[in-house]
Amino acid sequence: MTYVITDACVDRTDRTCLDHCPVDCIRPGERMLYIDPDACIDCGACEQVCPQDAIFFAAELPQDRQVFLQVNAEFHEGVRQRGDHPHVAALPRRN
């Protein structure tokens, strides 16, 4: 299993979670951060510190955010590309 970052992080890149991950498996795109599901050890530290409540245990993802399981995984499959996952890049800007 893994934890998953969702759209509540988009355009809110304070990066608080980065400093709390013990295995350094959270990586930044341009508009949000993404968790590497193969490296995440399910400790839950990131979920507890996220000010946007953007992070969920995969098994507890709300129905309307299920797509972000795939988005986080696919970002790391293409991690050498710059920018964001296409699903995130297409979301409307938030101020």
DSSP, collapsed to helix, strand or coil, labels residue 5 as strand
Residue ranges of alpha helices (H) inside 26-66 are 45-49
Q: Where are the beta strands (DSSP E) in the chain?
A: 3-5, 26-28, 33-35, 55-57
Alpha carbon 41 to its chain's center: 14
**Which residue of 4, 29, 33, 75 would you call a contact of ligand SF4, by CB under 6 A?**
33
Residue 46 binds to ligand SF4 (criterion: CB under 6 A): yes
Residue 38 binds to ligand SF4 (criterion: CB under 6 A): no
**Which residue of 1, 19, 23, 78 would you call a contact of ligand SF4, by CB under 6 A?**
23
Binding positions for ligand SF4, rule: CB under 6 A: 3, 5, 9, 12-17, 20-21, 23, 25-26, 33, 35, 40-46, 50, 52, 54-55
